[in-house]
């Protein structure tokens, strides 16, 4: 499977999973505490993991994520923007809740995406036609 097509399907499937968690599971089904915590951080974890894949799919013409340095900078900038997004939730006008666990989940998601993409995905799969 071509890399761009793989990234496209991964981002679409991940987005559907995030929507199912946010709009179907969490509001209507009540879970016990470990599962409730994991479902609380899952959208941040999955969303931050999908950022490099989505960038490669949508902005592959403009940003070369095959270069390790650019992929690293992309992940650092994305993490900074995710932290700013989480800090903006401290403003009461938005009606959202600030959570350190969301920042940690975003960091884990971006770090794992960086290692997967830099070591395997963008190097090995990019060589296939």
The per-residue pLDDT for range 63-94, each reduced to its tens digit, is: 888 888 999 999 999 999 999 999 999 988 87
pLDDT attached to residue 122: 80
> Quick one: average pLDDT of 52-57?
94
Range of the domain at 86: 3-127
pLDDT attached to residue 125: 54
CA distance 108 to 114: 10
User: Model's pTM, two decimal places?
Assistant: 0.89
The number of folded domains in the chain is 1
The per-residue pLDDT for range 89-126, each reduced to its tens digit, is: 998 887 888 889 999 999 999 999 999 999 888 876 55
- Mean pLDDT for all residues in the chain: 91
Give the contacts of 101 (CB within 8 A, at least 6 positions apart).
Answer: 37, 40, 41
């Amino acid at each position: 499977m071509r890399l761009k097509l793989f990234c496209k399907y991964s981002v679409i499937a991940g987005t559907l999973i995030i929507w199912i968690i946010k709009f179907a599971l969490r509001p209507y089904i009540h879970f016990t505490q470990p599962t409730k915590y994991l479902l609380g951080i899952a959208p941040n974890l999955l969303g931050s993991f999908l950022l490099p894949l989505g960038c490669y799919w949508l902005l592959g013409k403009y940003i070369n994520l095959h270069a390790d340095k650019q992929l690293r900078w992309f992940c650092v900038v994305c993490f900074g923007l995710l932290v700013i997004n989480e800090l903006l939730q401290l403003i009461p006008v938005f009606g959202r809740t600030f959570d350190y666990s969301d920042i940690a989940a975003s960091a884990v998601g971006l770090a794992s995406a960086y290692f997967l993409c830099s070591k395997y995905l963008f190097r090995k799969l990019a060589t296939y036609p």
